[in-house]
A and B are shown apart, each in its own frame.
Chain A
Amino acid sequence: MALDDDTVISVRGLTKSYGSFRALRGIDFELRRGHVLALLGPNGAGKTTTVEILEGFRKRDGGEVSVLGIDPSRRDRTLRSRVGIVLQECAVEPYLSVAEAITQRSYLYPDPRSTDEVIDLVGLEAKRDARIKTLSGGQQRRLDLGLALVGNPELIFLDEPTTGFDPTARRESWDLVRGLCAEGRTVVLTTHYMDEAQALADQVAVIAAGRVVATGTPDTIGGRDRGETTVRFVLPAGVGLGDLPLPNGLCPTVRCGAVEFSLPDATTLLHDLTGWAVTHGRPLDGLTVTRPSLEDVYLALTGEQADR
């Protein structure tokens, strides 16, 4: 498959079945150098199968796949030295120390990072000589991430990399991923956290039932940028809807004393409402203005599949 220099991954018509179960029914996407792609989708939708085909762990049934210009099913060693992989399950020999595990890995690559650099990168300085089995779950995940970065990979696969992290560790991992992209590396990320996709991804692909149901940036996917804005506030005591300066034809819904409007552009409405509130000295309690979140769009796209 011909690729221009900037295309790191190209997937066309990818199919895969396990017995009679059609796990992938024709997946297509492309990923450019230096970008972060977030693959979203319910459990069992085909995310991990897709990623494992790209990683070379599984053979595809049909379609075309190219990773850094190479077909991953050939299990080319050069390709493996250019790719870093973080699997869902954390798997490191428990009786080695952190530094030993990283050093062991560094012998495998032509141009590895130094052990101390990797330890510093994932913030495990205090655990340098600790046995891996004594690390907490989050620390083991960070070591896992560090091990994937030892070989200075051009392309990094992160399968649910921050599951089980505390909020601080998550933010630090996000900074780490952003740093990798700033160095021109490319990242494929699967996650169940919409805020993670929002924070990191340049591209999002939503997979449901073995198909890509939507692609785009986190801000535009699924028509999110064209979705209606929702304005919500609590009606001040003794004020009726009729007292408010509302544009014609706008139907609010009232729920538990809170008024909610959905409209394409809320600028004028907000101006009128806040003007009225200031003039009359009646604050609008609980005033919020929201756009559809990535999660709203995701839930709509994956529909009832999400219950699986």
Chain B
Amino acid sequence: MNDLVVARHQVNYEQKAYWRNPMSAVFTFMFPVVFLLVVGTSAGNSTIPDSTLRYNQYLVVAMLVFGLIAACYTNLGIMLSIRRDSGVLKRMRGTPMSVGSYVGGIIGSVLINVMILTIMVVCIGMVGYDLHFPFHPLAVAVTLLVGVVTFSALGLAVTVLVPNAEAAPAIINGIYFPIVFISGVFYPIANNSVLSRIATWFPVRHMVNALVGAFETGSGSGLQVWDLCVMLLWAAGGLAFALTRFRWEPRRR
């Protein structure tokens, strides 16, 4: 059987399973939307430093990053931990399905979720906060794609660190939230502050920078090459870690 055909079917089934269990959609879709509507309205029209965007417009982009990370890293980490514990992953390994088709199907489904999220969040921004349609749509698309690859790879990698499904949310969010805070997802952080220097080591800050850059007015392609390179470095590291250490079966008790 053709791996691509199998992966395409897998996308289909992943989508069905995803939307039938709305809990996983809460962080990806509900949180950014509600946050935008509540905080965005009270954020006012002040502009933020080093940018042409107003604060509430910046928030639109930042919430897109938040949702993307929830859709990739958090969702994948928790879902794979549950599937590993319940034996779904082991069972998959007993069929002729290739790991590539399986993971490809999962990431394909995540890509669909991110596209829906992008349309939702950008529409809210354009209608509610005068956000201009991205000045560099191609750069936005490339940045989102690099984001999906990076945070999906990190979702696979964090699954290695999770001992069992019950511990998954605590470990996965415990890593994620501090980094999201210092990376300026909820409020802009000046580029030379201590927090931003720490955040520079992690991929979230670079994702925010790259996406903000693609939304801003300005000449050039809008691609923030340095930020994208750092993210891809994290993607490569995460993937290498996952490939060498991934467990398909629950830990023996």
- Check A57 against B90 for contact (C-beta < 8 Å): yes
- A17 CB-CB contact with B under 8 Å: no
- A58 to B, closest residue via Cβ: B249
Interface stretch (choices B30-38, B91-99, B160-168, B229-237): B91-99
Q: How far is the CB of A74 from chain B (nearest CB, A)?
A: 14
Q: How far is the CB of B165 from chain A (nearest CB, A)?
A: 12
8 Å CB contact of A80 from B17, B21, B96: B96
Residues of B within 8 A of A108 (CB): 1, 6, 95-97
Contact mask for chain A residues 84-104; partner B; CB cutoff 8 A; 1 contact, 0 none: 010101111101100010001
Residues of A within 8 A of B91 (CB): 85, 87, 91-92
- Check A91 against B87 for contact (C-beta < 8 Å): yes
- Check A93 against B13 for contact (C-beta < 8 Å): yes
Scan residues 114-157 of chain B and give those whose CB is less than 8 A from a CB of chain A: none
- Check A56 against B95 for contact (C-beta < 8 Å): no
Scan residues 1-39 of chain B and give those whose CB is less than 8 A from a CB of chain A: 1, 5-6, 9-10, 13, 16-17, 20-21
Residues of B within 8 A of A276 (CB): none
Q: List 8 A-B contacts (CB under 8 A).
A: A80-B96, A81-B96, A87-B91, A92-B91, A95-B20, A105-B95, A107-B6, A108-B97
Residues of B within 8 A of A110 (CB): 1
- A261 CB-CB contact with B under 8 Å: no
A91 vs B96: C-alpha distance when bound (angstroms): 17
- Check A77 against B98 for contact (C-beta < 8 Å): yes
- Check A77 against B94 for contact (C-beta < 8 Å): no
Q: How far is the CB of A221 from chain B (nearest CB, A)?
A: 29
Q: How far is the CB of B86 from chain A (nearest CB, A)?
A: 5
Q: Which residues of A contact B (CB under 8 A)?
A: 55-57, 77-78, 80-81, 83, 85, 87, 89-93, 95-96, 100, 104-105, 107-110, 131, 151
- Check B17 against A89 for contact (C-beta < 8 Å): no
8 Å CB contact of A107 from B1, B21, B86: B1
Size category, B interface: 20 to 34
Residues of B within 8 A of A107 (CB): 1, 5-6, 9
- B175 CB-CB contact with A under 8 Å: no
- Check B94 against A95 for contact (C-beta < 8 Å): no
Residues of A within 8 A of B88 (CB): 91-93
- Check A100 against B95 for contact (C-beta < 8 Å): no
Residues of B within 8 A of A57 (CB): 90, 93-94, 249
A91 vs B92: C-alpha distance when bound (angstroms): 10
A287 vs B82: C-alpha distance when bound (angstroms): 56
Q: How far is the CB of A154 from chain B (nearest CB, A)?
A: 13
- Check B9 against A80 for contact (C-beta < 8 Å): no
Q: How far is the CB of A232 from chain B (nearest CB, A)?
A: 45
- Check B94 against A89 for contact (C-beta < 8 Å): no
- B84 to A, closest residue via Cβ: A91
A203 vs B19: C-alpha distance when bound (angstroms): 47
Q: A77-B96, A107-B9, A151-B95 are in contact. List 8 more A-B contacts (CB 8 A).
A: A57-B90, A85-B91, A87-B87, A91-B88, A95-B16, A95-B20, A108-B6, A109-B1
A89 vs B84: C-alpha distance when bound (angstroms): 12
8 Å CB contact of B96 from A89, A100, A109, A131: A109
- Check A89 against B87 for contact (C-beta < 8 Å): yes
Residues of A within 8 A of B5 (CB): 107
Residues of B within 8 A of A87 (CB): 87, 90-91, 94
- B9 to A, closest residue via Cβ: A107
- A75 to B, closest residue via Cβ: B93
Task: Please give me the 6 A-B residue pairs with the lowest Cβ-Cβ distance, nearest first.
Answer: A91-B87, A95-B20, A81-B96, A85-B94, A89-B87, A95-B17
Contacts A110-B1, A131-B20 given: A56-B94 contact, CB under 8 Å? yes
Residues of B within 8 A of A91 (CB): 83, 86-88, 90-91
- B17 to A, closest residue via Cβ: A95
- A92 to B, closest residue via Cβ: B88
- B87 to A, closest residue via Cβ: A91
- B93 to A, closest residue via Cβ: A57
Scan residues 211-237 of chain B and give those whose CB is less than 8 A from a CB of chain A: none
- B91 to A, closest residue via Cβ: A91
- A56 to B, closest residue via Cβ: B94
Q: How far is the CB of B68 from chain A (nearest CB, A)?
A: 23
The residue in B10, B20, B88, B91 that gathers the most chain A C-beta atoms within 10 A of its C-beta is B91
A151 vs B10: C-alpha distance when bound (angstroms): 17
A95 vs B21: C-alpha distance when bound (angstroms): 7
- Check B13 against A104 for contact (C-beta < 8 Å): yes
- A89 to B, closest residue via Cβ: B87
Residues of A within 8 A of B86 (CB): 89, 91
Q: How far is the CB of A243 from chain B (nearest CB, A)?
A: 62
Residues of A within 8 A of B17 (CB): 93, 95-96
Q: How far is the CB of A84 from chain B (nearest CB, A)?
A: 9
